[in-house]
Amino acid sequence: MPSVDKLLLEEALQDSPQTRSLLSVFEEDAGTLTVYTNELLQAMQRVYGAQNEMCLATQQLSKQLLAYEKQNFALGKGDEEVISTLHCFSKVVEELNALHTELAKQLADTMVLPIIQFREKDLTEVSTLKDLFGLASDDHDLAMAKYSRLPKKKENEKVKAEVRKEVAAARQKQHLSSLQYYCALNALQYRKQMAMMEPMIGFAREQIHFFKKGAEMFSRSMDSFLSSATDMVQSIQVELEAEAEKMRVSQQELLSVDESVYTPDFDVAAPEINRNLIQKAGYLNLRNKTGLVSTSWERLYFFTQGGNLLCQPRGAVAGGLIQDLDNCSVMAVDCEDRRYCFQITAPNGKSGIILQAESRKENEEWICAINNISRQIYLTEDPEAVAIRLNQTALQAVTPITSLGKKQESSSPSQNLKNPELENDKTVPRAAAEVPEAEELITPGTPIQFDIMLPATEFLDQNRGSRRTNPFGESEDDSFPEVEDSLLQQMFIVRFLGSMAVKTDSTAEVIYEAMRQVLAARAIHNIFRMTESHLLVTSQALRLIDPQTQVSRANFELTSVTQFAAHQENRRLFGFVVRMPESTGGESLSAYIFESNSEGEKICYAVNLGKEIIEVQKDPEALAQLMLSVPLTNDGKYVLLTDQAEGSPRGNQGAESEA
């Protein structure tokens, strides 16, 4: 016998769209079988009815033959031979009637009864289990919807515990009903074959028996055929019993699992999180806008494939593309008093989608997986090993070690601003001196700031003047008239990772060490949230602008930027060191680390060009020479690299360095 397709009981708990899609095939097959069984039963009942009619007909015929003798024919003489012959015919018909009666009884037992039992028992059981499974699925969806709406307030712990128990009970009920339903559908594939063949075997056997007794019309070949068919039915019966035993054992094992399988967020305090995932799948709640201020949430099945995030509703044959994850950013967000929400933002800075996981473990694993995919690790030969290596590097303790820049043999992208001789390619060769130790760059235990906050002196400098001040330290764009007069204007989309005090600005190694410590601290403390800004590079300053309100978050004069560099491996990392005056009369050094949608080298190029403009503005001849060496637009603005503005929201308007 060929192998029979079956539903895997192990996938009943996950209830994925793939399993639902396969389940729909089985359900369609069961529906088709039900229709066919009813039609087949009608045909068999018609045969059985014809056989009963044959019995009545032969019985009536036998009586009618005997009644010939009792007829009072006026010309009835000479009918004795006819009457005797009719008596013989009546006896033959009576014996034939006995054979037909026995055949009708056998047809009822061996042909009609099995198909009726199959319809009333097996098909009805499948239909009932289908209804129970649907009710259990609906109850589980309602419980999950109620659980997803739980607030984050601690005073609702009792309510949360009750809802978790309700979810666990609904999930266990759905699991049990799905296992019973799957077992019934799997067994139906075997019973279907038996139910189709057993009635015909009985019909053929009784017909042969009938004709053998009557006229020996069937040959021995039919006997051998029926014997082989009987053996086949018996073998199917043996397979059914073996498979039923396996399903029974498997069902017991699956139902004996721990309660944590059914309870979401079971280990909320310290879940075991896999940060090395390069693919992920599971149910998430998708936030949809239904109006200007109203939103709705929809529970869908999401999975990653290569560099894409796909969504597959229940019953769908395949998933649809939701988001391209290459070079995207992901961060945890607070959304409508819901827990475990995170947002995926496209590389161009456009607001992406907001999703909600059902537990802390799922939330952090989704963020880690999307972050790994955005780095395009899946394109490497051994993506799992690369993900493990990168995450192990990020999880190293923040201890003084050799800077990441020591491993690089290529030229450093940092610009040593204390060297007055700048090369035409805007890069300086790597210094031959020995790389300083981490203690010489950053004091061990230096606190790291993960949000942008300016010192008091910087705040006063930004708000000095007769114009109206903003109490939040933000300033409107039109309050900086020097932007319009600046020869250089270049916009980049960046995300602030962190800042910390440093001890020196004499080498770019301090930036590499700050990058290492900021990334390690974010990984250790599970900090995924990042502030996205527009970095405007002009010939006077570096300005961070809020992309939503278009107000300035921070402003750094180019003369105070003493060191800047891009990471050699992760080219999207960029940092700079700022020298700021203190109220005590001294100076402090701070390193600011960012992640950019474009390469950090391009930001270094723009910053270096801005500092060159500051230098040559003091010398008209040098300024004229610089303007001749760098392409200009019709209105006198500098034109940077052809793909310089790719990270800017207006980058598709050309390569002009216009913010």
Stated pTM of the model? 0.44
CATH code for the part of the protein at 448-452+485-629: 2.30.29.30
Q: Where are the domains of the chain?
A: 12-151+159-218, 281-392, 448-452+485-629
CATH code for the part of the protein at 281-392: 2.30.29.30
* Number of Cβ atoms within 10 Å of the Cβ of 650: 11
How is 499-512 classified by DSSP, letter by letter? EEE-S--SSTHHHH
**CATH for the 12-151+159-218 domain, from 1.20.1270.60, 3.40.605.10, 1.10.287.3610, 2.40.30.330:** 1.20.1270.60
For 537, which DSSP code? E
For 576, which DSSP code? E
- CA dihedral angle for residue 256, residue 262, residue 263, residue 265, rounded to 10 degrees: 110
Beta strand pairing call for 551-557 and 531-538: unpaired
Q: Where are the beta strands (DSSP E) in 159-307?
A: 281-289, 295-305
Q: Please tell me if the domain spanning 281-392 has the same topology as the one spanning 448-452+485-629.
A: yes
* Number of Cβ atoms within 10 Å of the Cβ of 97: 21
**Residues 6 or more apart in contact with residue 455 via CB below 8 angstroms:** 580, 588
Q: Which pLDDT score is estimated for 269?
A: 72
d(CA 442, CA 401): 11
The strand pairing partners of 251, in sequence order, are: none
Q: Which pLDDT score is estimated for 317?
A: 79
What is the mean pLDDT of each successive set of 10 residues along the chain, which is 659 residues long?
71 86 90 92 92 90 87 72 76 81 90 91 91 91 87 77 89 90 90 89 86 62 64 82 92 84 77 85 89 84 91 84 86 82 82 86 89 84 79 50 38 40 38 65 83 48 42 44 64 89 90 89 75 87 86 88 90 90 84 89 89 77 66 52 39 33
> Do 643 and 658 touch, CB atoms closer than 8 A?
no
CA 471 to chain centre: 43
How is 539-554 classified by DSSP, letter by letter? SSEEEEE-TTT-EEEE
